[in-house]
Structure formats: C-alpha cells, structure tokens
C-alpha cells in the first residue's frame, strides 16, 4: 500500500500540492484558479500520461508487468516519463506566469528520471528511493530558503514516510539494501543540489 501511495509518479503532485495549498498565500500569489491549473498540469504530465502510456506499452507487449519489477520492463516507461517531465519543465521555463521555482524543481525531478533511466541499463536502482530522496531533499532546500519554518512539519513527516516506504520496499524483496540506499542518497543529493540558488 505504501509503495502505491508514494509511487514516484505521484510525488510531484504531492510536492506541488504542498507548495500551492500548504504554504501561506504570500509565498505564491496565485489566484485559486491559477493554483488549480498548475496542479492539474502537474498531475496530467507527471502521473496520468505516464501511467496511461505504460498501460499501452503493456498492451503492445513492450512491458510484461505494470509493476515494472523486471529491470528490462523499465526502459520504455522511464523514457516516456522523462519525455513528459521534460515537456512540463520546458513549459514552466518558457511561460512567465509560472514561478521560477517551479522550473527549478521540475528540472531536478526530471534529471532524476534521466539518471534512473541511465543507471537502469546496468543496475536495478530503486526508483521509489530516488523519488523519495529527491522529494525530501527539495523540502529541506525549501525549508532553508523560506524566511519562516513553514515546512518543519512536512520535512519531519517526509523523513518518517521515507523510512516507512524504504522499509516496505526491502520487506517486499523488491530491491536489495544497496539499491534502496543508493537510490535515496542519489535522490537526496539531487534534491539539495540547488542550495544557495536565489529563487
């Protein structure tokens, strides 16, 4: 259940929901309809289209299981996800309506998918761990950037979730401890790589 609730493709939607609806309005001065538009765009391009595309890949015989347990199954879904995430990153960059932070966040998330795709050619690294590590790294980064400790509780909650999901992945036998911890470390380092950037 935890692996489904905190699937890597859902993490961008959770992150943007937190930014748009948890933080005080003065942090991002978007009207309600603007916030809904941003979140809908994120959900469609980072979750809905990749999931639908993976289902089509399964129907076409390019993927044997929707759970992508086999390393060989991951290549095309990862490439599809990377394409969708790249499109969203470019949209956030080119349209001035969007805060520059959105582009930077999506750039980091997109980079993590490309790295996962590259590493997957040789080794089955944990995509869940990369995603969770990246999300936690971004939260830590934003916590340090914001003038108030708005994200203290989300960061603490994120640490608990990371521990729970990583433990679940190990208990399920989906990955070895090296695959899980390497994924988390890589994701976290990517998440905080923008430390010192002026948003």
Asked whether residue 115 is domain-assigned, the answer is: yes
pLDDT at 173: 83
Mean pLDDT confidence for 103-129? 93
| Contact indicator for 117, 75 with CB cutoff of 8 Å | yes
Which carries the bigger pLDDT value, residue 31 or residue 87? 87
Asked whether residue 197 is domain-assigned, the answer is: no
Mean pLDDT confidence for 50-54? 96
Q: Look up the pTM and report it.
A: 0.92
Asked whether residue 164 is domain-assigned, the answer is: yes
Residue 62 domain boundaries: 1-192
Per-residue confidence band for 196, with pLDDT thresholds at 50, 70 and 90 = low
Asked whether residue 38 is domain-assigned, the answer is: yes
Provide the domain count of the chain.
1
DSSP conformational letter for 34: H
pLDDT at 198: 54
Give the Cα separation of 165 and 168 in Å (integer).
Answer: 5
C-alpha dist (Å) from residue 134 to 59, 85, 168, 173, 191: 31, 15, 18, 22, 4
The total of other beta-carbon atoms located within 10 Å of residue 179's CB is 19
Q: Retrieve residue 111's tokens.
A: 């980079």
pLDDT of residue 125 exceeding 60, the answer is: yes
Q: Retrieve residue 135's tokens.
A: 């999300």
pLDDT at 77: 94
Give the Cα separation of 193 and 28 in Å (integer).
Answer: 22
Asked whether residue 178 is domain-assigned, the answer is: yes
Asked whether residue 199 is domain-assigned, the answer is: no
Asked whether residue 26 is domain-assigned, the answer is: yes
**Torsion region of 186: left, alpha or beta (phi above 0 gives left; psi -120 to 50 gives alpha):** alpha
Asked whether residue 24 is domain-assigned, the answer is: yes
pLDDT of residue 110 exceeding 90, the answer is: yes
Mean pLDDT confidence for 87-105? 92
Mean pLDDT confidence for 87-107? 93
Give the Cα separation of 113 and 129 in Å (integer).
Answer: 12
Mean pLDDT confidence for 26-53? 93
Mean pLDDT confidence for 25-53? 92
| Contact indicator for 127, 184 with CB cutoff of 8 Å | no
pLDDT of residue 199 exceeding 70, the answer is: no
């Amino acid at each position: 259940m935890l692996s489904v609730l905190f699937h890597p493709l859902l993490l961008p939607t959770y992150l943007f929901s937190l930014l748009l609806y948890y933080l005080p309005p003065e942090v991002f001065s978007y009207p309600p309809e603007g916030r809904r538009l941003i979140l809908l765009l994120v959900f469609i391009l980072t979750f809905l289209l990749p999931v639908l595309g993976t289902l089509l890949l399964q129907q076409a015989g390019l993927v044997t299981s929707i759970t992508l347990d086999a390393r060989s199954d991951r290549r095309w879904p990862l490439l599809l996800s990377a394409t969708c995430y790249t499109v969203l990153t470019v949209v956030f960059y080119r349209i001035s309506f969007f805060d520059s932070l959105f582009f930077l966040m999506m750039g980091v998330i997109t980079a993590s998918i490309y790295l996962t795709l590259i590493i997957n050619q040789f080794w089955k690294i944990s995509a869940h761990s990369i995603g969770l590590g990246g999300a936690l790294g971004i939260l830590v980064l934003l916590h340090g950037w914001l003038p108030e400790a708005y994200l203290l509780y989300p960061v603490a909650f994120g640490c608990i979730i990371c521990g729970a999901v990583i433990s679940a992945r190990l208990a399920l036998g989906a990955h070895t401890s090296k695959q899980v911890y390497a994924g988390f470390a890589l994701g976290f380092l990517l998440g905080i790589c923008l430390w010192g950037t002026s948003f």
